[in-house]
Structure 1
């Protein structure tokens, strides 16, 4: 009666509800408009990790390093350093950056600050490229929002004169990623929205249905963006949350609405009035949507166990957008259905949503064919999934680097110039920060620091060691660190003092050694080098505390490679807990739904196999580059490290939706008939068209982001599209009927209840009749 009352209210207040919906969209849209400016490229730092401590240690007290640090790269296409005009042109670009009121530059170190005799290390091999380290007073998060505009202004000002001016570093990189994320989101929406309408019209035969489904998805996204915009004012949220939430919101929003619209149309076609049709729709398909939302939200909540901001941000976006889609589908969509009523029915009458008997017979025949040879079909499907999963054993993961930015970007051009002219490792040195308990200049730490420097230079894979030790040795050969005392620094020559101030903090307690690797930050060789550097640092710390009067040192190793390795490790360490928690949640939900032990276990096993196959395809395309050009993708030698864990939780929850949708129909038929084989065939025949249509819509949405997004979103979208496609075909159409045929009545076994047969099943029908229609 309560659901009937809700349906009556939805019909009675339909116009008020629609007006309120429009008002809600307007308010949400206004709040959501501020979200892009509040998102950050951060979220990769592991709390209290060595790499995080390094970032904090170099944020103050050093020349050319600050709360935000960047490298200014200037490339003169018309002149070389040997030309008199080169100096003037470069100085103009340097002055433009240092005096820009937006940047709030506080100090610099490099080509434009040193004398001609001391700045050779800052000139590229081509003689046309120079670099400067620049410190900004801007907080890192704010800088990431402003640097894209500054870079655009610099390019417009200097490019016509043949000067390529690039801002390089973490802040410029993530600022560019933020900008690209917005533009790629717009492109993906331009691709996805028309395709959604086309697919819905072709499969379900109604333009009104397509527009209603889109209204649900768009509303869910805007509501999510509005909430995220408020949260982003207090908590750092990753830039990737916007793309991920849009992608998932369109997918589940359209799917949920179609479940309801299709059932509503069927109830009207059966002769029920609108109130009863709405009540039945909410009681059946409405429970499908509610269960789906609970499953996705519960699965994504397990990701809070990973102490990485980027993953928690995306998980938050997923939770909010799915919860919004459920609320809109169950509260606002019924009012729209009550308003459309017969017009929706007429617009879909010529469509395919009625599941013609010929189509049902074909699906029934297909299911029976599979179940006549269940072992052969099951073995073939499992073998296919295992074969696809094999490449996943070689998966390599890392944090995003400059290669995700198009080569046309000035930021990418700057990264490429530094790598080409100064070496691949120059863009991301391994940063070693030595912190002493007493001033470095008192000499107690000198033996340990010098020994560490020699050990670092001798490591395999080291292209060079940047530090102040060489110039300090020239000034004070007997005790190089004695010259770091503040009063001694005052008397040092200008070039020497600048170098000392860049590598030794003003408090004389911190010293930086930049280990320049021969390879890029993500290269396995650089990761091996990082491990060696950390071992050397550990040994230096142990040695510094021995003997009377010897300074005790703490040494932290950071930089881009260290941050990537630290984030990989924290994901790997917490992944087993996340997986166990997610599997426990899904098992309990399926156990309660099906009152069976074996069906949830089978669903979990098959989903693990399907996710493994998805991983394998992802590795083949993006890491190995096989077929990447065919799809228009760029191979990157590794998979973005947050993609696998997100794929795992998202695919598990979305696949569970289809599992429940299919098996509740099977259970309904089995409870009524006790026919093991027939119930599976008829259940698949009744659900396959809608499952296939919903899966196709998901693939269209995720595929749009795969082709239009930046690399991390490409990998996530492509993985979701592949996973959903495998689930809707190989798993749902072959593995499920074959495995259920082999299990027979044991499908429904529950301790304490035994294995139900025809008699017990039929006897239970009266008590479970209404419930068994939950996902019809």
Structure 2
């Protein structure tokens, strides 16, 4: 074989993993008790010292950040967020009864915590806050902090009493980011994912005991990660969507890693090994691959730090913590549990499931590999065509941020948006906020009103509110309402027009300085700011992944193919996501009935997670192929045997992940739906088209060239061995000649 010879079996690193597995097996009661203590203690610490969820999406150095900072420093009564309390009466607010009821509601709101001001429509100058037909009105409620500083519980404490004030005469709804935060709820679909995973594992193993081990391992690891994740919030900003996403990923990979190890354990038992050696051997081989795969996922997630956005940093740390804990559980808790089950792992067998009377070289996966190898060009071209077809819609992906119009109809934010859009136009749900400085007192007020009059004439502006000056008289604020909704591309165009031409023309010769902020402007700045760093993010993740795979497989061609295929699989998954958020039958099926923009943060998260997960399958498959190639030197035979021996566990693991991810698409939150759909599509595409078609086809076409590595590079690169070795007598401290025992009649479930 070209390149450096395969590493010897007694490497120090592998011995350390063997010793750890053996210790956990022998001290299994202590290990289980330690994990129970970690889980209980973690939640106790979280309950006492846990931090709050918060997110700051303002792009550093942007104009919207400058506007927000100006408000916070010079206009504290306007530095916080705002909510709109929307009231609607079929009788119209010309009715004294309806108006009196609405005024009483606004008075109660003014006394609420975090409220610093209420601009009522029923005072002088408030007529513009009543719709032309008189049936809808709204009060602008100023808060003492930004929505990123509110916790979901604080938001609910503010919003829910307002909603309860409605009655038969007056409908009350609340709009704004804080109102949206008040609707935050746990995704609540993890149970569905667990149930679906249990069915797949039962089908794979045919034993309820074997099925339960990956689930228990994943739940312990994920539960501890969730508890420690609350402590993590003390030191980093963690957005509200990070914990459920981490749960989704942690559950999927936790079950996947344990599935791989349990499969190898059962195979070792079937070969006649006693339980201790079967356990340690499974950890030394399959567990080693799981550790490497988990570290690759973590490296991919930490690549998000290159984007430089604090909320994304918190997301990366939260997911990485979940993967680290479930990976640790797989190589510590699982060996202990295997020590308790031993040969009883086949207990509670379900008839007709998981049994495999055939040798791997007569399995359907072996036959499939041979089929692809006989027609490699057809398979390669066909697989590539499918990926490109799926990826094509990705070119039409619309980046942006969903707003209240994309919320479920049951949400108060959705109803508030509908009332405001009907009564005042779609732009009222997210006005632009302009800060003005450069003069003082009455001069500033007059000059700012003059600027507002000019901006009111700009195409796309519905209205401009009168200027408001702070107590010190050095900062004024204008509120500009667009004719289109905050997520509309026309609103982004309006922001550009205001910044590039309209505002500079309006302040020419006045000495005034104006920053354009507000929700729509902030979303635009985030999208562009993150887009500017995408090349650094993608390049960093791809380069590190390429180097790691090159060190593992001692090849330039294999990691290069892996990177290119993963990019194609990512594009195909984003194409599926684009179709889902564009309306139509798929959107209706998953609960996204209307066209919805995709936040740029979401593709970054999906790409990082997908790239890590796809490396898992790359390692699982190619390490088995390389093992066969090292043994035989026959590339075609190695591909056929490697695929036949690993395909079942890859497809079972992928099925578990797909069902777990899709379960999150059943929630009501549109972000959760997008993550679930994107990740499920990515894993399904990667485990089928890429691993089962393109990999064997290209391996056959390239032959021995797959393993080409220049000699100088082989000497330069350190070696990472993910194959490991089965445990030896010396590893376990056993006599040199162990007592022989007949092979146990255990089903391996390795291929059918």
Question: TM-score, with normalisation over the residues of structure 1?
Answer: 0.86
Instruction: Determine if the alignment matches structure 1 residue 703 to structure 2 residue 662.
Output: yes
What SS is found at the alignment partner of 1:158?
Answer: coil
Alignment-derived partner of residue 135 in structure 1: 142
Structure-1 residue corresponding to 2:117: 107
1:263 and 1:20, CA in 2 relative to 1: closer, same or farther beyond 3 A?
same
1:577 and 2:536 aligned:
yes
Q: How many residues align?
A: 707
Q: 1:768 to 1:52 in 2, by over 3 A?
A: closer
SS at match of 2:211: helix
Q: Tell me which residue corresponds to 1:496.
A: none
- Residues 302 and 581 in structure 1, CA contact (< 8 A), matched pair in contact too: yes
Aligned with residue 482 of structure 2, among 517, 533, 545: 517
* Cα-to-partner distance string for 1:194-249 (whole Å, 9 max, x where unaligned): 11111111111122223221222222222222222112234331000111011001
Q: CA deviation at 1:563?
A: 1.0
Match of 2:742 in 1: none
Q: Is the 8 A contact 1:35 1:228 kept in 2?
A: no
Residue-by-residue CA offset, 1:10-40 (whole Å, 9 max, x unaligned): 2332122222222222222334568998213
Residues 35-92 of structure 1 show CA distances to partners (whole Å, capped at 9, x for unaligned) of 998213x332112321122223334766973534222222234x32221212211121
The counterpart of 1:667, out of the listed 616, 626, 651, is 626
TM-superposed deviation, 1:285? 0.7
Change (3 A) 1:55 1:624: same
Superposition deviation, residue 664 in structure 1: 1.1
Equivalent position of 2:732 in the other structure: none
Instruction: Name stretches of at least 5 consecutive residues in structure 2 with no aligned partner.
Output: 1-14, 715-719, 728-749
- What CA distance in whole angstroms lies between the structure 2 residues aligned with 1:768 and 1:150? 56
> Which has the larger helix fraction?
1
Q: Is the deviation greater in 24-33 or in 504-513?
A: 24-33
1:280-295 matches, cutoff 5 A: 280-295=281-296
Counterpart of 2:545 in structure 1 is 586
Bigger mean CA deviation after superposition, 146-155 or 727-736: 146-155
Task: Give 2:57's match in structure 1, choosing from 44, 47, 50.
Answer: 44
Partner residue in 1 for 2:458: 459
Question: Quick one: which of 590, 593, 599 aligns to 1:640?
Answer: 599
Query: Cα distance 1:32–1:162, how it changes in 2: closer, same or farther (>3 A)?
Result: farther
Aligned to 2:166, what secondary structure does the other structure show? helix
Aligned to 1:73: 86
Cα pair 1:667 1:772 within 8 Å, conserved: no
The residue correspondences of 1:597-636 to structure 2 (distance < 5 A) are: 597-636=556-595
Q: Structure 2 matches for 1:244-323, cutoff 5 A?
A: 244-323=245-324
Match of 1:54 in 2: 67
> Among residues 379, 382, 385, which one is paired with 1:383 in the alignment?
385
Shift of 1:519: 0.7
Q: 2:686 aligns with which of 720, 727, 752?
A: 727
Number of the residue aligned with 2:232: 231
Larger CA deviation: 618-627 vs 413-422: 618-627
How far apart, in 2, do the equivalents of 1:531 and 1:265 lie? Answer: 63
Cα RMSD between the aligned structures? 2.7
Mark the runs of 5 or more structure 1 residues left unpaired by the alignment. Answer: 469-502, 545-549, 756-766
Moved more, 405-414 or 560-569: 405-414
- Is 1:156 the counterpart of 2:169? The answer is no
The answer on whether the counterparts of 1:7 and 1:275 sit within 8 Å (CA) in structure 2 is no
Q: How does 1:490-569 map to 2 (within 5 A)?
A: 503-536=468-501, 539-540=504-505, 543-544=508-509, 551=511, 553-569=512-528
Give the CA deviation at 1:733. 0.9
Matches of 1:138 and 1:620, distance apart in 2: 37
Deviation at 1:455, TM superposition (A): 4.3
Distance 1:505 1:283, change over 3 A: same
Alignment match, 1:500: none
Return the TM-score normalized by structure 2: 0.89
Q: CA deviation at 1:726?
A: 0.7
Larger relative contact order, structure 1 or 2 (CA cutoff 8 Å, min sep 6): 2
Which residue, out of 10, 34, 52, partners 1:20?
34
Residues 389-422 of structure 1: per-residue CA shift (max 9 Å, x gap): 1111111111231134321122322222122211
Say whether the 8 Å CA contact 2:360–2:644 is kept in structure 1: no
Query: Which SS does the other structure have where 1:284 is aligned?
Result: helix
